[in-house]
């Protein structure tokens, strides 16, 4: 198989922010051609979960997403903080966003949001046995409505393209396969 990986020659940062950083890489392709300016978005890694309550309902969150200008139906999740494990991050995010605590967290997969322009991973989990133990503890700019759906309702929402966040659709599909719900 031919070599496909590029050699990184240099990087220059254009912008460094708390949620996204932009850099320009200079690279050499395996055949020697130079790529003088390849833009890379650096994001922190994320963790999300298909979260099932004690009565087997899937917890979804509804929130406004400004970049797309949409109110989005999603699964809970968020940024993995520096030094935090992905599993601890997903437990924290579930508790903060929904107020639910889970007795079983199972790893599903790791996925790239867009490996052509972004460098981060999303760590995907299934959480089971959720119990409401507290009120939400949201970030200053978060407004999240927590909703519960049956597995069949979530499958219908996916079939009708009512859940459009690609990373969350992917995690839902992995969880539905794991649950034996994909036919």
What's the pLDDT tens digit per position in 56-79?
Answer: 999 999 999 999 999 999 999 999
pLDDT of 20 over the 90 cut? no
Say if residue 73 is in the same domain as residue 17.
Answer: no
- Give pLDDT, residue 41: 96
- Give pLDDT, residue 15: 97
- Give pLDDT, residue 139: 84
What's the pLDDT tens digit per position in 123-180?
Answer: 999 999 999 999 999 888 889 999 999 999 999 999 999 999 999 999 999 999 999 9
pLDDT of 80 over the 80 cut? yes
pLDDT of 1 over the 90 cut? no
DSSP, res 180: T
Residue 121 belongs to what domain range? Answer: 46-178
pLDDT of 105 over the 80 cut? yes
Average pLDDT for 37-42: 97
> Counting beta carbons within 10 angstroms of the beta carbon of residue 125, is it exposed (0 to 12), middle (13 to 18) or buried (19 or more)?
buried
Cβ contacts of residue 37 below 8 Å, gap of 6+? 24, 25, 26
Say if residue 35 is in the same domain as residue 118.
Answer: no
In angstroms, the CA 64 to CA 62 distance is 7
Average pLDDT for 1-7: 93
For tokens 């903060």, name the residue. Answer: 96
Say if residue 19 is in the same domain as residue 101.
Answer: no
Number of compact structural domains in the chain: 2
For tokens 């036919």, name the residue. Answer: 183
Say if residue 155 is in the same domain as residue 73.
Answer: yes
Say if residue 97 is in the same domain as residue 153.
Answer: yes
DSSP, res 5: P
For tokens 């978005």, name the residue. Answer: 41
Phi, psi (5° rounding) for residue 96? -65, -50
Say if residue 160 is in the same domain as residue 93.
Answer: yes
61 close to 97: Cβ distance less than 8 angstroms:
yes
DSSP code per residue over 87-119? HHHHHHHHHHHH-EE-SEEEEEEEEES-TTTB-
pLDDT of 116 over the 90 cut? yes
Provide the terminal-to-terminal Cα distance of the chain, rounded to the nearest Å. Answer: 36
Cα dist from 115 to 126, 138, 140, 174, whole Å: 24, 29, 30, 20
- Give pLDDT, residue 58: 98
Q: Which of 85, 92, 109, 88 is nearest to 171 (CA)?
A: 109
Q: Flag whether 93 is in a domain.
A: yes
């Amino acid at each position: 198989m031919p070599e496909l990986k590029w050699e990184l020659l240099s990087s220059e940062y254009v912008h460094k922010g708390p949620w996204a950083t932009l850099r320009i890489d200079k690279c050499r392709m395996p055949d020697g051609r130079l790529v003088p300016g390849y833009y890379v978005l650096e994001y922190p890694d994320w963790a999300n979960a298909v979260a099932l309550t004690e009565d087997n309902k899937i917890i979804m969150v509804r929130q406004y997403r400004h970049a797309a200008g949409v109110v989005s139906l999603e699964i809970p999740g968020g940024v993995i903080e520096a030094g935090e494990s992905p599993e601890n991050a997903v437990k924290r995010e579930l508790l903060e966003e929904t107020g639910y605590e889970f007795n079983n967290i199972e790893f599903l997969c790791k996925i790239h949001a867009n490996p052509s322009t972004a460098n981060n991973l999303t760590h995907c989990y299934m959480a089971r046995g959720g119990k409401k133990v507290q009120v939400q503890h949201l970030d200053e700019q978060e407004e999240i409505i927590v909703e519960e759906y049956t597995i069949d309702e979530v499958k219908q929402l996916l079939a009708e393209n009512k859940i459009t966040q690609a990373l969350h659709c992917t995690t839902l599909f992995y969880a539905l396969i794991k649950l034996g719900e994909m036919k």
